[in-house]
Chains A and B, each alone.
Chain A
Amino acid sequence: MELLVASALGLLTSAGIYLMLRQRTFPVIVGLTLLSYAVNVFIFAAGRLVTNMPPIIDKYAAGYTDPLPQALVLTAIVISFGMTAVIVIMALGAFLEAGHDKIDMTDKDESANPAEGTK
């Protein structure tokens, strides 16, 4: 099971990083999402992998799994979900304002006065 989880993590992370290095916002966002999935699995695995063990106190339990990473991973999922929503909206806004979804800002764009706003 360790091998399966570890290779899934590696696959997710490398795919995420590859996509993050693209030049358009959409693949970058998908890459960031894959990376956050990888991180969630990784946090979960940080509490050691066991099967069929309860995280809360149980009279009949033979042993326990670490409950804290499960709480951490819930927090991380909520936060990364919210952050992904923000960047999607922001990228959409940038796409509508600029007319394209390139990540790079060329010198010509940046030198324009930000106070002037659009076009």
Chain B
Amino acid sequence: MMSHWIIAPVVLPAIMGALIVLLMRHDLLLQRIFSLAATLALIAIATALLIAASNEGPEMYRLGNWPAPFGIVLMLDRLSAMMVMLTAVLAVAVQLYAIGTGWDARGRHFHALFQFQLMGICGAFLTGDAFNLFVFFEVLLIASYGLMIHGGGKNRLRAGVQYIAFNLVGSSLFLFALATVYSVTGTLNIADLAVKVPLLPEGDAGLFRVAAVMLMLVFAIKGALVPLQFWLPGTYANAPGVVAALFAVMTKIGAYAMIRFGVMVLPPDSPAMGSLIADLLLPSAIATLIIGAIGVLGASTLSRLAAFAAIASMGTLFLAISAFTPAATAAGLYYMVHSTFAGAALFLITDLVISRRAHDRLDHALPPIAQSGLISALFMLSAIATAGMPPLSGFIGKLLVMDALRAQAALIWPVILGTSLLMILGMARAGSTLFWKAHASAPTEAPTHRPEGLAFVAVFGLLGALIVWTVMAGPITTWLEATAVALHDPSAYIAANALPPLPQEVK
């Protein structure tokens, strides 16, 4: 039993963020040490939670010790433990990069905002209550607003205003959806919803479907699903590279919530929902994938290329989710972790290039950058991972997704394969402009740049995580399949909530 440790991934960053603001705001070195130590501790906690969740099944933590569904609960299960672990590993890499390149010194309160961001993300993954999910969404968003404009500048601020406005609309929509859900079912506890939704009377089903679609719209905004993806390219391309890398996990929160609600509360076999969600999700996932791939091919700058690659990866992920079968969900989870690391690595490499080059436009070549050989090799690796070519995990992930979607192969396979080709072309074009054609233009003098060892450690770490994810694919997929099966049959999750028995029907 993990008992109080379940809340540690929320409390630890919260306390550390506050301490950094209050006690260490003038000392960057102290901030770096404590912030990094907290994130490393988060990895340790996440490991313990992951082991507990895979051995003992779902576990509940009562905030305020009120029983569910009246009190708010945190729920630890295999999926939430995995997502917390993913966040912690990504956070360490991003933090090392920020320290190595000095990004954290270009504005104030980077580490404090970073910790609050982690608090929001971990909380969103762990909560077992829909309204609490909204609250943690807001916590992570308000921290992300601060991080997004870190370093300042005209374009960053203007893109920041758009980003906030888009998310404020999303938050309002979330509240409309939650209020409608509450007015129909009388509960906001996720497990309680999973119990009560199938029992809804015929007349309430229509209202509930409206609420469910609004809820899915909110998660689609977070997950950058077409046609709600407009915020992503501008935000990611204008945010500092290191922040964009951390944001790689933010879109996955939309996907996580979509899995949590779509599979557990609104499954296609539920009489109130039918196949409504799947019918909406499939075409928009295909459109997301196609638009992302075309964006990669046509991107004018390297940072926009990375942003569109993130959109394309969300398309593949939502394709897997839209099937609502355990095999497809497991494939989606494998691809989700892969695309988080691959996307983050691509954003960090983009930042390495930008800091060494006058600009990151892809329409004409510039003389070679400092450490050109090493960075181009790293770009090559991350491009292979992002486009889904063998031997890295992107290939295995796409293979798993295609295998799980065999039933609709005629529609889905050409899309996945065709977009992979487009992405390979886009990546090859970018790589040859940035690194290859560079040698054709005469260098004036040998470029120099600070060595930034820690930054390369971070990028190598992310790519190393991808290699581990590839090599260990066998055991990992077995574990993920068990996770997906548990999601599709949430009886253990519901039992862990210890809900009161349903009142007998009085006629």
Instruction: Using CB atoms and an 8 Å cutoff, list the residues of chain A in contact with chain B.
Output: 20, 25, 28-29, 32, 35-36, 38-39, 42-43, 45-48, 68-69, 72, 75-76, 79-80, 82-84, 86-87, 90-91, 93-94, 97-98, 103, 105, 109-119
Q: Given A76-B175, A105-B159 in contact, is the A83-B168 Cβ separation under 8 Å?
A: yes
A90 and B161 contact, CB distance less than 8 A: yes
B142 and A83 contact, CB distance less than 8 A: yes
Q: Interface size class for chain B?
A: 35 or more
Q: Given A94-B154, A117-B154 in contact, is the A79-B165 Cβ separation under 8 Å?
A: no
B149 and A90 contact, CB distance less than 8 A: yes
B157 and A94 contact, CB distance less than 8 A: yes
Chain A's closest residue to B160 (CB) is: A90
Q: How far is the CB of B392 from chain A (nearest CB, A)?
A: 29
Chain A residues near B251 (CB-CB < 8 A)? none
- Per-residue A-contact encoding for B299-339, CB less than 8 Å = 1, 0 else: 01101000000000000000000000000000000000000
Q: How far is the CB of A116 from chain B (nearest CB, A)?
A: 7
8 Å CB contacts to A: which residues of B195-230? none
B168 and A32 contact, CB distance less than 8 A: yes
**Which of A29, A48, A80, A103 is within 8 Å of B162, CB to CB?**
A103
8 Å CB contacts to A: which residues of B334-368? 354-355, 358-361
A98 and B168 contact, CB distance less than 8 A: no
> Chain A contact residues: over half helix, strand or loop, or mixed?
helix
**Which of B157, B164, B168, B358 is within 8 Å of A113, CB to CB?**
B358
B152 proximal to A (CB < 8 A): yes
Q: How far is the CB of A40 from chain B (nearest CB, A)?
A: 8
B142 and A42 contact, CB distance less than 8 A: no
B179 and A43 contact, CB distance less than 8 A: yes
Chain B residues near A47 (CB-CB < 8 A)? 182-183
Chain B residues near A94 (CB-CB < 8 A)? 154, 157-158, 160-161
16 A-B contact pairs sorted by A residue (CB < 8 Å)? A20-B165, A35-B169, A39-B175, A45-B183, A46-B179, A47-B183, A69-B179, A84-B168, A87-B161, A97-B154, A112-B155, A114-B156, A114-B238, A117-B153, A118-B152, A119-B154
> Chain B contact residues: over half helix, strand or loop, or mixed?
helix
Q: Given A42-B179, A87-B164 in contact, is the A79-B135 Cβ separation under 8 Å?
A: yes
**Which of A69, A75, A114 is within 8 Å of B135, CB to CB?**
A75
State in angstroms the CA–CA spacing of A87 and B138 once bound together.
13
Chain B residues near A115 (CB-CB < 8 A)? 153, 354-355
Q: Name which of B152, B164, B240 has the most chain A CB atoms within 10 A of its CB.
A: B164
Chain A residues near B151 (CB-CB < 8 A)? 117
B436 proximal to A (CB < 8 A): no
Chain A residues near B5 (CB-CB < 8 A)? none
Chain A residues near B358 (CB-CB < 8 A)? 113
Q: Given A46-B179, A119-B154 in contact, is the A111-B168 Cβ separation under 8 Å?
A: no
Chain B residues near A93 (CB-CB < 8 A)? 149, 152, 157
Q: Given A28-B165, A43-B175, A43-B179 in contact, is the A105-B155 Cβ separation under 8 Å?
A: yes
A46 and B149 contact, CB distance less than 8 A: no
Chain A residues near B159 (CB-CB < 8 A)? 105, 110
State in angstroms the CA–CA spacing of A68 and B129 once bound together.
13
Chain B residues near A113 (CB-CB < 8 A)? 354, 358-360
B34 proximal to A (CB < 8 A): no
Further 5 A-B residue pairs, CB within 8 A, beyond A32-B169, A36-B172: A72-B179, A83-B142, A86-B145, A90-B149, A110-B238
**Which of B154, B164, B240, B360 is within 8 Å of A90, CB to CB?**
B164
B460 proximal to A (CB < 8 A): no
Q: How far is the CB of B348 from chain A (nearest CB, A)?
A: 14
State in angstroms the CA–CA spacing of A94 and B153 once bound together.
9
- Per-residue A-contact encoding for B462-497, CB less than 8 Å = 1, 0 else: 000000000000000000000000000000000000
Chain B residues near A36 (CB-CB < 8 A)? 168, 172
Closest CB pairs A-B (n = 3):
A46-B179, A46-B183, A94-B157
B47 proximal to A (CB < 8 A): no
8 Å CB contacts to A: which residues of B118-141? 131, 135, 138, 141
Chain A residues near B303 (CB-CB < 8 A)? 114
Q: How far is the CB of A66 from chain B (nearest CB, A)?
A: 9
B66 proximal to A (CB < 8 A): no
Chain A residues near B141 (CB-CB < 8 A)? 83
Chain A residues near B354 (CB-CB < 8 A)? 113, 115
Chain B's closest residue to A116 (CB) is: B153
**Which of A32, A68, A98 is within 8 Å of B154, CB to CB?**
A98
Chain A residues near B131 (CB-CB < 8 A)? 72, 75
